[in-house]
Amino acid sequence: MGSIFADFQQAQRVGNGRLLASCLAPIDTAQDPHRLISFAQLSNYQTISSDVRYYLIQAPNAVGLSKAEANAWVDIFVALWKTVKELVGLRQGNGTGDWVRAFDSYKELCNLLVRGYTNFGFQSWTVPCLYVAGKYIRIIAMKADSEVKPKDANGSAFTNGFSDDIMGDVNKHEKLEQAAWTINRMFTVCLSDRSELAESRKWGIYSTTNLLFKTYFRLNSISLTRNVIRALEAASADLPPLELFPKSHRCTFKYYRGVIDFLQENYTEAEQHLTEALNLCHKDSLKNREQILTYLIPAHVVNHHQLPSHALLSPHPTLSGLFTPLFNAVRAGSLVAFDEALTSAEPELVKRRVYLTLERTRDICLRNLFRKVFLAAGWEETKDSTTGEVTGKIRRTRIRIEEFEAAMRVGYKGATDVMMERDEVECFLANMVYKNLMKGYIARDRGIVVLSKAGAFPGTGV
């Protein structure tokens, strides 16, 4: 009679949160490939409430829950049944199912679940229910939004009551926004639990945080993640240390923290978080590793001026295809190749939000070019100041600006629309010095660059 109820009773008996949570997932399982349809056919709108009540409370094998708690579970499963009913209808494709109704029912489930924690004494071991409910409300919301669009495209622009401007927020993500709101409630329910750590819902905090991050990213309202991070930081004293949380929670959390820092141009913190995420990430989950590397590599290049090795990129052909031409150009100091690689990859890089960061690596490309000028400038003999004896040789450190100008013309060889001016070359030289990529100074009156005798190009061996 519906493996869902059997699982529920079993989970309640032994206190298995994951098993309990799996009951709330509106999917078929490997054990019960017809779980949804059999659950949907269990009852009808008139009798579902009493039927669920029977299976949860009155059945002979039912565990004794307190009255309030049992009632809360009944409501939750009624909401689940309504969702499943829609989903089964959708699967049958006979027009009886609707994503929007499915979403509304599942949102009801989530709200009832949250209320179960706040009002009806759900225990902390049931917290995995929040993960599952949060996961599916997000998925269903996105489905519902993609359904609504064609139908409501015309009216939605005007739904905004008394706003002064004609285009209110055109709501393409109405349901997902509601989902974000619901998940935010789950987050609060986890964060605000004051019971002892062993019995605390705080153990659900990073899972719900991750869901919230995910949803905000999808809504393209990344600024909202700041509130979440602030709330976490404010509560950090009361939270269990991050290391004690499941690896999956930690890895995802670190990834999002890293990306958020990356987008705010805090590359040092971003690199830290993303490195941790990479270390936590399972070695075979290539997709996740690729996601992490998408941000970690640019952050690392900007921070340390080190390019990724072939071995690091080779398992990820997409990423490699995007990054390799660019980094080859950086290595070679070829400005024209760099510009071409950046332009051709621009749409993809913009989509991944790394374009503006990678653009900065042009400095390193230019540094490499100027370094070649330095290397090509040759050697000078050093003489003992008193005897005039030749004691050895060092690289020539006084280089005419024309030499750098020539290098830039070489760097742009093949480019048609670039006009190099001497002042512009000077400007780039000044930038190199300013950014500590090159040590020395420009003596403008003499038209030369005076480079440091010890390490003119820091970190490059010369």
Partner 1 sequence: MYSSSSAPGHPPWQAQSSYSSNQNAYIQVPARQTFGAQPPLPPPPTYFPPQHYMASPPTNTPPPPLAPPAKKKMNWSPDVRDYVNRSFAQTTALPGITKEHIEAKLKEIITEATQSGRLDTINWKELPLPQQLIQEDRNRALLAPVPPPYYVPAVPASAPSTTTYQPHPDAPRKRKSTELSKEAGDATAPPPWRTSAQSSGPLADRVSFAPSDKRPKLDMTTSVSKSSASLESRRRRFEDSRAGSNSPRTQESSRGASPEAKVTGPIVGRCQKLEKNYFRLTSAPNPDDVRPLEVLRKTLELLKKKWRSDGNYVYICDQFKSLRQDLTVQHIKNEFTTSVYEYHARIALERGDLGEYNQCQTQLRELYKQNLGGHPVEFKAYRILYFIHTCNQTDMNDVLSDLTPADKKEPAIKHALEVRSALALGNYHKFFKLYLTVPDMGAYLMDMFVERERLAALACLCKAYKPDVRLRFVTEELGFESDEEACQFLLDHAPEDSSHLLEEREGDVRFLTGKVGSIFQNAKTRAFGLVDIKGQI
> Is residue 416 close enough to count as binding partner 1 by CB under 8 A?
no
Q: Hunting for tokens 């509560």 — which residue is that?
A: 235
> Is residue 443 close enough to count as binding partner 1 by CB under 8 A?
yes
> Is residue 159 close enough to count as binding partner 1 by CB under 8 A?
yes
> Is residue 167 close enough to count as binding partner 1 by CB under 8 A?
yes
Q: Is 448 helix (H, G, I), strand (E, B) or coil?
A: strand
Which part of the chain contacts partner 1 (CB under 8 A), choosing from 134-142, 182-190, 299-307, 429-437? 429-437
Q: How far apart are the first and last CA of the chain?
A: 77
> Is residue 444 close enough to count as binding partner 1 by CB under 8 A?
yes
> Is residue 451 close enough to count as binding partner 1 by CB under 8 A?
no
> Is residue 328 close enough to count as binding partner 1 by CB under 8 A?
no
Please work out, in degrees rounded to the nearest 5, the angle formed at the alpha carbon of residue 207 by the alpha carbons of 204 and 213: 135
Strand partners, 337: none
* Chain centroid to CA 263: 10
CB-based burial label for 153 (10 Å; 0-12, 13-18, 19+): exposed
Q: Which of 31, 64, 351, 416 binds partner 1 (CB under 8 A)?
A: 351
Q: How far is CA 418 from CA 154, 329, 339, 363, 412, in A?
A: 47, 17, 11, 17, 7
Closest distance to partner 1 from the beta carbon of 263 (Å):
5
> Is residue 101 close enough to count as binding partner 1 by CB under 8 A?
yes
Q: Which of 356, 375, 376, 462 binds partner 1 (CB under 8 A)?
A: 356
Cα torsion angle, 239, 240, 242, 245, sign: negative
> In terms of Cα–Cα distance, which of 274, 329, 267 is closest to 304?
267
Residue span 280-319 as binding mask against partner 1, x where in contact by CB under 8 A, dash where not: ----------------------------------------
Residue 432: CB atoms within 10 Å:
22
231 is written with which tokens? Answer: 């709330």
Q: Is 45 helix (H, G, I), strand (E, B) or coil?
A: coil
Q: Which of 62, 219, 426, 460 binds partner 1 (CB under 8 A)?
A: 426
What would you report as the CA-atom Rg of the chain, rounded to the nearest whole angstrom? 31
Whose Cβ is closer to partner 1: residue 127's or residue 449's? Answer: 449
User: Under a CB-based contact definition with an 8 Å cutoff, are residues 394 and 379 in contact?
Assistant: yes
> Is residue 224 close enough to count as binding partner 1 by CB under 8 A?
no
Closest distance to partner 1 from the beta carbon of 239 (Å):
28
* Phi and psi, residue 313, nearest 5°: -85, -25
Whose Cβ is closer to partner 1: residue 314's or residue 452's? Answer: 452
> Is residue 420 close enough to count as binding partner 1 by CB under 8 A?
no
Q: Which of 125, 315, 355, 395 binds partner 1 (CB under 8 A)?
A: 355
Q: Which of 149, 151, 247, 310 binds partner 1 (CB under 8 A)?
A: 151
> Is residue 336 close enough to count as binding partner 1 by CB under 8 A?
no
Measured distance CA(29)–CA(32) in Å, rounded: 5
Measured distance CA(266)–CA(271) in Å, rounded: 9
> Is residue 453 close enough to count as binding partner 1 by CB under 8 A?
no
> Is residue 31 close enough to count as binding partner 1 by CB under 8 A?
no
> Is residue 140 close enough to count as binding partner 1 by CB under 8 A?
no
Q: Which of 427, 447, 455, 462 binds partner 1 (CB under 8 A)?
A: 427
> In terms of Cα–Cα distance, which of 259, 282, 284 is closest to 272?
259
Number of chain residues interacting with partner 1 (CB under 8 A): 58
Closest distance to partner 1 from the beta carbon of 350 (Å):
5
> Is residue 48 close enough to count as binding partner 1 by CB under 8 A?
yes
306: phi > 0 → left, psi -120 to 50 → alpha, else beta; which?
Answer: beta
Residue span 244-283 as binding mask against partner 1, x where in contact by CB under 8 A, dash where not: -------------------xxx------------------
Whose Cβ is closer to partner 1: residue 207's or residue 397's? Answer: 397
Encode 102-128: b = buried (16+ Cβ within 10 Å), e = exposed.
bbbbbbbbbbbbbbbbeebebebbbbb
User: Under a CB-based contact definition with an 8 Å cutoff, are residues 449 and 429 in contact?
Assistant: yes
Residue 435: CB atoms within 10 Å:
12
Closest distance to partner 1 from the beta carbon of 164 (Å):
5
Footprint of partner 1 (CB under 8 A): 45-46, 48, 78, 82, 100-101, 104, 151-152, 155, 157-159, 161-167, 170, 178, 220, 222-223, 263-265, 346-347, 350-351, 353, 355-356, 359-360, 362-363, 421, 423-424, 426-435, 441-444, 450
